[in-house]
Amino acid sequence: QQPVQSPQAVILREGEDAVINCSSSKALYSVHWYRQKHGEAPVFLMILLKGGEQKGHEKISASFNEKKQQSSLYLTASQLSYSGTYFCGTEGGSEKLVFGKGTKLTVNP
Amino acid sequence: EPEVTQTPSHQVTQMGQEVILRCVPISNHLYFYWYRQILGQKVEFLVSFYNNEISEKSEIFDDQFSVERPDGSNFTLKIRSTKLEDSAMYFCASKYGDGSNQPQHFGDGTRLSIL
């Protein structure tokens, strides 16, 4: 069962913040976040493991609320290079990743 | 930095023809995957492969699909008799070990166009 991402699209000005959510109705072992630019491969950002952890990667961080089966990706002080589609991929005990439909982020100057 | 490489970058094939998509995973990785992405849609899991056998496959991966690791470096996806709806971007991915803390690294993909 695929995770649900929200919002579907976000438009920001450079320097603004955004939050992208990913929720699942199924128990999760981990949540994987990727960014994909148009015509390119998904690029791995970070993994959140069950246990309710938080992680940071420069100005991009994420949290995983195991009880709610929800993960949020936080982008602070956005840069033009952050533009792309962000996918969460969930892993529920098998090796495969099940991806959400993605959130398209556009950062304008 | 080591990366997953895929060839060709674009494949155009007549409907009904066989096509083989090739991937060279990162050299010390043990788990291999194929995903596909129809234009403008989400990335969908096709198949996972470990220890020279399929470990999981999706409903999309029917009898027309097969995977093989013919040698120590290549990982291939074959579609026996292509259909129009097979047109998509196909991504190969690999990861080092099992466990939820291991990231999957994606190749740049092969764009498959069925005419």
Domains and CATH numbers, chain B: 5-97+104-114 (2.60.40.10)
pLDDT higher than threshold 80 for residue A52? no
Instruction: Determine whether the interchain pair B100/A49 forms a contact, defined as Cβ–Cβ distance below 8 Å.
Output: yes
**Average pLDDT of the segment spanning B31-41:** 93
The pLDDT value recorded for residue A91 is 85
pLDDT higher than threshold 80 for residue B2? no
3-state secondary structure of A38: coil
Residue A61 CB burial class (10 angstroms; 0-12, 13-18, ≥19): middle
Phi-psi map region of A35: left, alpha, beta (phi>0 left; psi -120 to 50 alpha): beta
Do B91 and A41 touch, CB atoms closer than 8 A?
A: yes
Chain A: closest CA distance from residue B109 (Å): 6
What confidence tens digit (pLDDT) does each residue in B83-115 have? Answer: 999 999 999 999 998 777 788 999 999 999 999
Give the separation between CA A65 and CA B24, rounded to whole angstroms: 36
Give the separation between CA B87 and CA B9, rounded to whole angstroms: 13
Q: Which of residues 75-94 of A touch B (CB under 8 A)?
A: 87, 89, 91, 94
Do A12 and A18 touch, CB atoms closer than 8 A?
A: yes
Instruction: Determine whether the interchain pair A94/B107 forms a contact, defined as Cβ–Cβ distance below 8 Å.
Output: no
Single-letter amino acid, residue B113: S
Average pLDDT for chain B: 93
Count CB neighbours of B109 within 10 A: 25
Q: A53 falls in which pLDDT band (50, 70, 90)?
A: low
**Average pLDDT of the segment spanning B37-45:** 92
Q: Is A40 on the interface with B (CB under 8 A)?
A: yes
3-state secondary structure of B45: strand
Residues of chain A contacting residue B107, judged by C-beta atoms under 8 Å apart: 41
The domains found in chain A, sorted by start residue, are 4-108 (2.60.40.10)
Residues of chain B contacting residue A99, judged by C-beta atoms under 8 Å apart: 42-45
Choose among B56, B100, B108: nearest Cβ to A41: B108
Average pLDDT for chain A: 89
Q: Are strands A98-99 and A84-91 parallel, antiparallel or unpaired?
A: antiparallel
**Average pLDDT of the segment spanning B53-66:** 94
Q: A39 falls in which pLDDT band (50, 70, 90)?
A: confident
Chain B: closest CA distance from residue A53 (Å): 12
Do A20 and A80 touch, CB atoms closer than 8 A?
A: no
List the single residue in A with minimal CA-CA distance to B33: A96
Residue A55 CB burial class (10 angstroms; 0-12, 13-18, ≥19): middle
